[in-house]
Amino acid sequence: MKTFTYTIQDEVGIHARPAGLLAKKAKEFQSTITMEKGGKSVNLTKLMAV
């Protein structure tokens, strides 16, 4: 299994438009892609969770 870790540097986090693009791209893969903050993890394909 491959893993990739990236830290978002912006203090306010990720905005709606880029989050939508990430969710759309994540749906193209069969992999499970998650995003985590403060110990809480969400599936990246669920835009409202992001």
pLDDT digits (tens, 9 = 90+) for 6-30: 888 888 888 889 899 999 999 999 9
pLDDT band at 45 (very low <50, low <70, confident <90, very high): very high
Would you please indicate which residues are annotated as catalytic (active-site) residues?
Answer: 15
Domain ranges within the chain, ordered by starting residue: 13-50
Contacts of 45 (CB under 8 A, 6+ apart): 23, 26, 27, 33
Q: How far is residue 38 CA from its own chain's centroid?
A: 14
pTM metric for this prediction: 0.72
